[in-house]
């Protein structure tokens, strides 16, 4: 399934040419080929390098002109000084989509600004679209490739796409997401200096893209704010859009100028405009990633009613406070839920939501009590999302000194049984148990957080997105 926009050549190319391909590990022109290889790209790959016969198993070509077809996508990792000539080669070859990772343009000085203007002129004359320069690359898991300049290995597929005016989401942040948070992406567009393809066009593409369920944005400035907001107004009705707009404050604004050469806008205007356009603005980078994780791994909830299972009275109260502060609602349990929880709770426990599960865990064991408690909550028609705060330590699960993560398999199983409800887990207790649970559960699409608030904060942002949707999630 492909959309018809011109950006298809960027995100679903049948062939990729790498200008500046290198044999040296660690060089951008080598890493790009590594990333193409690691992700199992099925199209044709054409490294351009006059001094090599092959690199990483790909046959090399001395010049762009020597490539035996017009490649769908060209990516370029040559120094700024060589960039104009290489762009001209691409134009002559009738390349229609070019990703320029080269930096040293408008973000550095006036000479760079002039050079990027010349490059744009050549591209326009040839009908060639450019992403960048000063981008760290793009990724498209539905087409099984990445041309990031940072070695990422195999990138897990998920239905979220990222529009980023920073290289972070193609480099170290993506590395962290893949190795530390265990979720993946659909498309990633690193916009760089946006001399041609801009925020609006990418947002529109993601809006139509059947491989994109939700959109995660990092932006410092706009090329055309009006157009972007108009497009968002349409897209937000179909897909959640969350955004971190940086350069909010005086200090941030000063720092933006030397980063992507864009002018930061008045922050309050941005706030209001985003709200009108259906873009949910998050406050922090950490929260952006937390929210992206829940969007990547879980469904969009049908409502804001939350049940919380907790191993401690205090954590339940803190969770209840957080829900109310964040616009979520601690769900009222149904009569049926009360009755069913009553069968596993000791007589002295007051059953309610937050569900203080520890009394039941002491009787039935941690796993059985949580499985029963979570099932009751998921069966309750008055509940849209469940946060299960688990205290996992050798002494609480009465096991050996390492957690057997398979004991938690009931959680992904419950997710499959109740595919419309959001399930999240927070883990307290021993670090090694936290890590083992996090890795296992996230690999099985259950997001894991530290207690108490981060999971609820992510859910609250998704809940805000939900209000703009015109379909029933």
Instruction: Enumerate residues 31-90 that contact a second copy by CB under 8 A.
Output: 31
Rg (CA), the chain: 25
200's enclosing H/E stretch is: helix 199-208
Choice between 12 and 78, CB closer to a second copy: 78
β 138-140/145-146 pair status: antiparallel
Calpha distance 91→97 (Å, rounded): 10
- Give the three-state DSSP class for 8: helix
Binding residues for a second copy restricted to 134-163, rule: CB under 8 A = 150-151
Binding test (CB under 8 A) with a second copy, winner from 13, 29, 47, 451: 451
**Under rule CB under 8 A, residue 16 binds a second copy:** no
Report residue 297: phi and psi, to 5°.
-105, -20
| Residue 454 C-beta: closest distance to a second copy, Å | 6
Binding residues for a second copy restricted to 200-219, rule: CB under 8 A = 218
Residues 205 and 177 sit within 8 Å (Cβ to Cβ): no
Binding test (CB under 8 A) with a second copy, winner from 157, 175, 364, 375: 175
Choice between 274 and 434, CB closer to a second copy: 434
| Residue 329 C-beta: closest distance to a second copy, Å | 8
Angle, alpha carbons 14-213-170 (nearest 5°): 60
**Under rule CB under 8 A, residue 250 binds a second copy:** yes
Binding residues for a second copy restricted to 329-358, rule: CB under 8 A = 330, 348, 350, 352, 354, 356
Calpha distance 128→73 (Å, rounded): 10
**Under rule CB under 8 A, residue 173 binds a second copy:** yes
| Residue 274 C-beta: closest distance to a second copy, Å | 15
Query: How many residues lie near a second copy (CB under 8 A)?
Result: 75
Choice between 191 and 300, CB closer to a second copy: 191
- Give the three-state DSSP class for 251: helix
Binding window for a second copy (CB under 8 A); candidates: 46-54, 82-90, 313-321, 363-371: 313-321
**Under rule CB under 8 A, residue 413 binds a second copy:** no
Calpha distance 162→279 (Å, rounded): 14
DSSP-assigned states of every residue in 358-381? HHHHHHH-HHHHHHHHHHHHHH-T
Choice between 181 and 209, CB closer to a second copy: 181
């Amino acid at each position: 399934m492909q959309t018809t926009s011109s950006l298809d050549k960027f995100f679903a190319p049948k062939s990729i040419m790498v200008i500046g391909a290198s044999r040296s590990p660690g060089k951008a022109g080598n890493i790009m080929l590594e990333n193409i290889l690691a992700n199992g790209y099925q199209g044709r790959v054409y490294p351009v390098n006059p001094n090599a016969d092959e690199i990483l198993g790909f046959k090399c070509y001395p010049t762009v002109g020597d490539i035996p077809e017009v490649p769908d996508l060209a990516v370029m990792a040559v120094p700024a000084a060589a960039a104009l000539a290489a762009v001209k080669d691409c134009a002559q070859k009738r390349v229609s989509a070019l990703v320029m990772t080269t930096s040293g343009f408008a973000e550095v000085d006036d000479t760079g600004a002039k050079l990027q203007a010349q490059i744009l002129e050549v591209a326009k004359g040839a009908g060639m679209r450019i992403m960048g320069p000063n981008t760290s690359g793009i990724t498209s898991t539905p087409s099984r490739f990445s041309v990031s300049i940072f070695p990422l290995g195999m990138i897990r597929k998920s239905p979220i796409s990222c529009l980023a005016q920073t290289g972070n989401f193609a480099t170290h942040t993506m590395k962290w997401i893949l190795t530390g948070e265990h979720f993946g992406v659909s498309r990633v567009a690193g916009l760089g200096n946006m001399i041609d393809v801009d925020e609006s066009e990418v947002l529109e593409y993601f809006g139509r893209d059947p491989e994109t369920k939700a959109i995660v944005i990092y932006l410092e400035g706009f090329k055309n704010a009006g157009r972007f907001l108009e497009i968002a107004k349409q897209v937000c009705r179909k897909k959640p859009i969350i955004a971190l707009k940086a350069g909010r404050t005086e200090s941030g604004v000063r720092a933006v100028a030397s980063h992507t050469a864009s002018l930061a806008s008045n922050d309050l205007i941005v706030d209001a405009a985003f709200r009108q356009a259906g873009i949910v603005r998050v406050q922090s980078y950490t929260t952006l990633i937390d929210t992206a994780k829940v969007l990547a791994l879980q469904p969009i909830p049908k409502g804001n009613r939350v049940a919380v299972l907790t191993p401690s009275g205090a954590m339940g109260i803190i969770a209840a406070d957080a829900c109310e502060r964040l616009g979520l609602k601690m769900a009222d349990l149904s009569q049926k839920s009360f009755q069913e929880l009553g069968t596993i709770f000791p007589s002295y426990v007051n059953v309610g939501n937050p569900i203080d599960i520890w009394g039941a865990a002491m009787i039935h064991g941690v796993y059985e009590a949580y499985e029963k408690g979570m099932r009751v909550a998921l069966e309750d028609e008055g509940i849209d999302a469940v946060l299960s705060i688990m205290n996992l330590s050798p002494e609480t699960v009465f096991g050996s000194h390492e957690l057997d993560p398979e004991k938690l398999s009931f959680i992904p199983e419950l997710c499959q049984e109740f595919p419309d409800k959001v399930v999240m887990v927070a883990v307290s207790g021993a670090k090694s148990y936290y890590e083992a649970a996090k890795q296992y559960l996230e690999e099985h699409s259950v997001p894991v957080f530290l207690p108490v608030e981060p999971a609820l904060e992510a859910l609250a942002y998704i809940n805000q997105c939900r209000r703009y949707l015109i379909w029933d999630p």
